[in-house]
Structure 1
Amino acid sequence: MLTVSEDIEIEAPVAEVFDYMDNPHNQTEISPSVTDIRDVEQDESGKSLAFTYEMAGVPLNGRLETRVYEPEERIVFDMEGALSGTITWEFEPSDAGTRVTYGAEYDLPSSVLERVVRPFAERYNERELRTTLENLKTRVETAG
């Protein structure tokens, strides 16, 4: 299981940051490797959607289903497909406005691939999370 997590302070209220992240289509704006969000469905328990994530030039298709939906606090998605695992977004008030924590836990497609690619994937995804959070900060702070 590969686990990565990053956090960032955003100078905007929790409600504004949460609302931005609650729209799955915004992922293609802030996540450099998310190339497509589609088939978004929503009900009282959260959302489900299909996505394409590109890692090292390889498109990986999957589906996210909301497991936990706590408005302005936390969203947890179960991820299935080429990557299986969990995506977690946490939001908390801070002196700056909002602290956002973005975490991912997932299995790589095969044990052989994991042995060869794991160190690369860890570094890649740490950079990916940091870039996504920086892009979120820029989008929300300049829109407000």
Structure 2
Amino acid sequence: MTVVSESIRIDVPVETAFEYLDDPHNHAEVTPSVSDVQNVERLDNGGKRLDCRYKMAGIGLETVLEQTIHEPNHRMVFDMRSGVDGEIDLQFAEANGGTEVTYTATYEIPGRVLNAVVEPFAIKYNERELRTALENLKQRLELEDETEA
């Protein structure tokens, strides 16, 4: 299993950050590799199940995401099933009047040989992807917060 994690502080309340990411369509706005979110259905735990299209290293993939943990204003965890299986864990914490968002992706690339060749590239790619997604989230939420003020 490979784990990549990034955090960022955003100058908006925890509720604002959580509410924004609680809408799966907004992930496509801030995550560069996500191109489409479809078939969103609400689950009994407050989370969602959805189909998602994304690209990794230029290769188009489809995945099913199921939110296994939905703790309002604290945490959301998605189980990911596709050619690359894993988990996406988003955590939210109050930080000096704003929000610290931590995005952790745990995944497994199938095949031992393929994994040995691809893993170093995948780690760098996903670190960049997480960092860019969080920077986009920060920009989107802080800009919206400024225009509402």
TM-score (norm 1): 0.96
1:25-64 alignment to 2 at 5 Å?
A: 25-45=25-45, 46-64=47-65
SS class of match (1:100) = strand
Distance 1:47 1:6 in 2: 23
Amino acid at match of 2:144: A
Tell me the equivalent position of 2:112.
111
| Stretches of structure 1 lacking an aligned partner (at least 5 in a row) | none
Q: Which amino acid aligns with 1:107?
A: E
Displaced runs of 4+ in structure 1, greater than 4 A? none
What is aligned with 1:12? 12
Residue of structure 1 in register with 2:131 after alignment: 130
**Which residue identity lines up with residue 49 of structure 1 in the other structure?**
L
Tell me if structure 2 keeps the 8 A contact 1:10–1:141: yes
In the alignment, the residues of structure 2 paired with residue 83 and residue 34 of structure 1 have an alpha-carbon distance, to the nearest angstrom, of: 14
For 1:75, give the aligned amino acid: M
Contact 1:49 1:64 in 2 (8 A): yes
Q: Tell me the percent identity.
A: 49
Gaps of 5+ in 2: none
Give the Å deviation of 1:109: 3.1
Given that 1:10 and 1:96 are in contact with CA atoms closer than 8 Å, whether structure 2 keeps it comes out as no
Q: Deviations over 1:8-58 (max 9, x none)?
A: 000000000001000100111100011111111013311000111201110
1:64-79 map, 5 Å: 64-79=65-80
Letter in 2 for 1:103: T
1:9–1:96 CA contact under 8 A, matched in 2: no
Q: Are 1:83 and 1:108, in contact at CA under 8 Å, matched by a contact in 2?
A: yes
Q: Distance in 2 between matches of 1:113 and 1:70?
A: 36
